[in-house]
Structure 1
């Protein structure tokens, strides 16, 4: 079975992330529909944290998995307005680029990883939290590397609001 009492939220395309989540039904969460994806560690939804990899896995519905999919556990509250909370596991599609406004896992200076909305212009990069109490992070384009985009969320029910 999946994580005890887990909810699986799949991102619907072409909607703002705060409104994009579709709750998968229980039929998608049965053993025959679950596959393992690597759970590679944690990502900060707050101040960037040092990148450190784990090598465990998590079972998620097959519908949440694409070609290069992995999972990260969220630490922090900077993405709460996009319905991503501390303790959630996000499902990531590995990509090296992102459109303006996409929610991305970003590596800063080859050492710290964070989860933010990404905005790029001539002046540089703005990593925007989805929490009005937190300030954006401004960097040069050369300081960041996009690691992937958020495609789904696994939430433990006891953490759900």
Structure 2
């Protein structure tokens, strides 16, 4: 039986549209965190916010507010610090809407060469694709378009209580 990760004590942040990622997060109101307004989604493993890591599926589940769930929603645990300027930190669980494309500058989960996954801002350039960390101490990754596959876009963050960042 899959592990179910309980809903408390966590902070749920959902992404407001049309804002830069670092400013887009808004806490889900407490009145939406009662048991009948939470839904269970798959927690499919980890994604690197740093150097890409091998894609490995897991079979856990996590409860999230219904407002964070769309049609093809799943969660991944973040490992690394490349997205800290977007207010996504090591240990956070990100809520992903499964999509196969991303607009310039979107924060996306990307598979590289059908083997590794990473979380970065995606930019389409003349020479290919730039996967840009949201941490100025880290260098971007440059790849050919054919080397990547967009797996989904970040729509929410679940953070353990006590780890709430600004």
Matched, 1:82 2:86: yes
In the other structure, the counterpart of 2:128 is: 124
Runs of 4+ in 1 over 3 A off after TM superposition: none
Matched, 1:7 2:11: yes
In the other structure, the counterpart of 1:26 is: 30
In the other structure, the counterpart of 1:38 is: 42
Partners of 2:116 and 2:162 in 1: CA distance: 29
Matched, 1:62 2:66: yes
Cα RMSD (Å): 1.0
In the alignment, structure 1 segments of 5+ residues that lack a partner are none
In the other structure, the counterpart of 2:54 is: 50
Kindly provide the CA deviation profile for residues 49-107 of structure 1, in whole angstroms up to 9, marking residues without a partner as x. Answer: 00000011000000000000000000000000000000000000000000000000000
TM-score by length of 1: 0.98
Deviation at 1:2, TM superposition (A): 4.3
Residue of structure 2 aligned with 1:111, choices 108, 115, 137:
115
Partners of 1:147 and 1:84 in 2: CA distance: 18
Partners of 2:7 and 2:40 in 1: CA distance: 12
Partners of 2:143 and 2:15 in 1: CA distance: 28
Residue aligned with 1:3, SS: coil
TM-score by length of 2: 0.95
Partners of 1:103 and 1:112 in 2: CA distance: 17
Kindly indicate whether the alpha-carbon contact (under 8 Å) linking 1:77 and 1:85 is maintained by their aligned counterparts in 2: yes
Matched, 1:147 2:164: no
